[in-house]
């Protein structure tokens, strides 16, 4: 008999799913006090929480029988994932359950600012009847620019198209086929989307790449009279820059559900003084339907986890690494870094990843594949990615994964090669492990090279002529960046060469721009492991 403790409020439909299982006993205590929880947690095999209950080390130390933590929602900030993993406790959540709710809230904000509904409502409450004051605009015929064409962005696209809008989207990690299926034009750059859009709506995760994505430069590029909606994450937008452009009259209307600090502080609340802004307190998931979906999904995940079935929404490693996998630990590390390299160096709209494994390690193709996908996806998603959910997430994003195995290679006995392809681009990267301990990237496209995948690496393609390395060194020295190592690969003397500089310090945009101004440099990209 499995005992499940629910420590936060959960829709009854989820509780019903648990109660229908004959070997599961449910204890529903949504208002349980922390001290009491610490006393009884040792009795339970699973706990289901929301954000109220901290699943921290203190709790886990007492949870002697705990096998599963279910987070009824997407965020797992209140769960110590590392400690759970160490103790072999599986953590599951409920991603995607609030997709429709978030999309519909976006549309509500969009229509509100287009038609000034919030202002008309307030005017009526004050006893006014001023029809001329509230002349608005129609969504029909507008160019709507969607930043992030994931689950929510796709649903917003469908609704905007149904209203007669022309929809474009920017998402460098979504295959073009998905845009075609939705009837959405995928543009190549964020700048193009900003310049063309009458309405801009954000639906991307908050990652290091997207943090502060919309600031002074982006607001300057927007059309005068643009409409701007953010129901994604607050940190994507520089609210200080937004405030300055609101004072200039840049926006026809703004809709916000999320803020960089919640509840907003006085600095953020400055933007509330403008009457063309529609506000809500982070309520994208606050629908009865969304809460039912969250409850259903988390209950199903907890049941599956307790009974040893496949769990699609795991957010940490669900099992201790076996001795056999420990023996190829360095190859698993290499696999993850190959996937990471593809994302950082290749970018693009890759819709197929082919993983070719040579030698005896080919019998471990499934875990190697999972580590490649984990590396590939980790930097582009704001949810935890691990070896369990990485294949599911790849499938969800429309990425086809192809497995290939061969006998030992001609150059290296054991070798992992990853080829990422899309309609108009491809990237191949491969590597091996030296002495069973040291991962090395040995192949980038057709170039044989030897790269230690650690720290900061400047990858660059250049015309194979004298003086290029000297020019690079001069720029780096001027910015006090030390070169720790250098590797070069080339196919033919005097043609194109591929270089890799191991650096002691990260670069910045200024340095990269100077490097790209070197006439012989074709491409330069900073890779950070």
Is 262 catalytic? The answer is yes
Which residue in the list 138, 191, 262, 324 is annotated as catalytic? 262
Q: In this structure, what token pair is assigned to residue 10?
A: 């959960």
Question: How crowded is residue 35: how many other Cβ atoms within 10 Å of its Cβ?
Answer: 7
Distance between CA 128 and CA 121 in Å, rounded? Answer: 10
The most distant pair of C-alpha atoms in the chain lies apart, rounded to whole Å, by 84
The residue behind tokens 């004298």 is 466
Residue 355, classed as helix, strand or coil, is strand
For CA atoms 207, 211, 217, 218, the dihedral sign is positive
Rg (CA), the chain: 26
Which DSSP string do the residues of 113-157 spell out, in sequence order? Answer: HHHTHHHHHHHHHTT---GGGG----STT-EEEEE--SHHHHHHH
User: Which residues 6+ apart lie within 8 Å of 99 measured at CB?
Assistant: 151, 152, 155
Which residue in the list 211, 282, 383, 490 is annotated as catalytic? 282
List Cα–Cα distances, 232 to 102, 331, 513, in angstroms: 8, 37, 31
Distance between CA 471 and CA 521 in Å, rounded? Answer: 10
User: Which residues 6+ apart lie within 8 Å of 528 measured at CB?
Assistant: 344, 455, 456, 457, 506
Is 364 catalytic? The answer is no
Which residue in the list 71, 159, 233, 397 is annotated as catalytic? 233
C-alpha distance across the termini of the chain, in Å: 45
Q: Do residues 518 and 468 touch, judged by C-beta distance below 8 A?
A: yes
> Each residue of 84-111: b (16+ CB within 10 Å) or e?
bbebebbbbbbbbbbbbbbbbbbbbbbb
Is 461 catalytic? The answer is no
Residue 201, classed as helix, strand or coil, is strand
Q: In this structure, what token pair is assigned to residue 135?
A: 């002349």
- Enzyme catalytic residues: 233, 262, 282
């Amino acid at each position: 008999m499995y005992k499940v403790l629910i420590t936060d409020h959960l829709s009854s439909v989820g509780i019903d799913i648990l109660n229908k299982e004959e070997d599961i006993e449910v204890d529903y205590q949504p208002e349980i006090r922390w001290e009491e929880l610490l006393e009884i947690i040792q009795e339970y095999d699973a706990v289901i929480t929301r954000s109220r209950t901290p699943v921290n080390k203190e709790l886990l130390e007492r949870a002697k029988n705990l096998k599963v933590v279910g987070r009824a929602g997407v965020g797992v900030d209140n769960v110590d994932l590392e400690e759970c993993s160490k103790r072999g406790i599986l953590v599951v959540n409920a991603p995607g359950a609030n997709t429709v709710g978030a999309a519909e809230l976006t549309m509500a904000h969009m229509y509100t600012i287009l038609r000034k509904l919030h202002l008309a409502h307030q005017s009526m409450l004050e006893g006014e009847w001023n029809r001329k004051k509230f002349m608005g605009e129609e969504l029909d015929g507008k160019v709507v620019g969607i930043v992030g064409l994931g689950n929510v962005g796709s649903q917003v696209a469908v609704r905007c198209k149904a209203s007669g809008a022309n929809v474009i989207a920017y998402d460098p990690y979504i295959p073009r086929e998905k845009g075609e299926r939705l009837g959405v034009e995928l543009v190549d750059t964020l700048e193009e989307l900003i310049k063309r859009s009458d309405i801009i709506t954000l639906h991307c995760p908050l990652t290091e790449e997207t943090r502060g994505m919309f600031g002074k430069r982006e607001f300057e590029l927007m059309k005068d009279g643009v409409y701007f909606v953010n129901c994604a994450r607050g940190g994507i937008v520089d609210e200080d820059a937004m405030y300055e452009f609101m004072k200039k009259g840049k926006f026809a209307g703004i809709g916000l559900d999320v803020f960089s600090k919640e509840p907003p502080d006085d600095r953020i609340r400055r933007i509330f003084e403008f009457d063309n802004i529609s506000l809500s307190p982070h309520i994208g998931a606050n629908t009865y339907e969304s809460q039912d979906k969250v409850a259903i999904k988390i209950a199903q995940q907890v049941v599956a986890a307790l009974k040893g079935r496949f769990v699609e929404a795991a957010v940490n490693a669900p099992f201790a690494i076996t001795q056999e996998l420990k023996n190829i630990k360095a190859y698993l590390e290499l696999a993850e870094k190959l996937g990471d390299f593809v994302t950082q160096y290749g970018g693009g709209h890759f819709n197929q990843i082919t993983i070719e494994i040579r030698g005896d390690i080919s019998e471990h193709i499934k875990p190697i594949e999972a580590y490649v996908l984990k590396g590939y996806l980790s930097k582009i998603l704001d949810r935890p990615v691990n070896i369990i959910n990485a294949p599911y997430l790849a499938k969800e994003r429309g990425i086809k994964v192809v497995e290939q195995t061969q006998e030992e290679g001609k150059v290296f006995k054991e070798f992992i090669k990853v080829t990422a392809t899309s309609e108009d681009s491809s990237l191949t990267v491969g590597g091996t492990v030296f002495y069973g301990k040291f991962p090395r990237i040995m192949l980038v496209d057709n170039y044989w090279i030897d790269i230690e995948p650690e720290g900061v690496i400047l990858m660059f393609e250049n015309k194979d002529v004298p003086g290029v390395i000297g020019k690079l060194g001069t720029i780096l020295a001027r910015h006090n960046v030390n070169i720790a190592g250098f590797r070069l690969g080339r196919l033919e003397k005097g043609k194109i060469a591929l270089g890799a500089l191991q650096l002691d310090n990260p670069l910045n945009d200024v340095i990269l721009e100077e490097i790209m101004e070197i006439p012989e440099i074709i491409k330069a990209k900073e890779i950070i492991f």
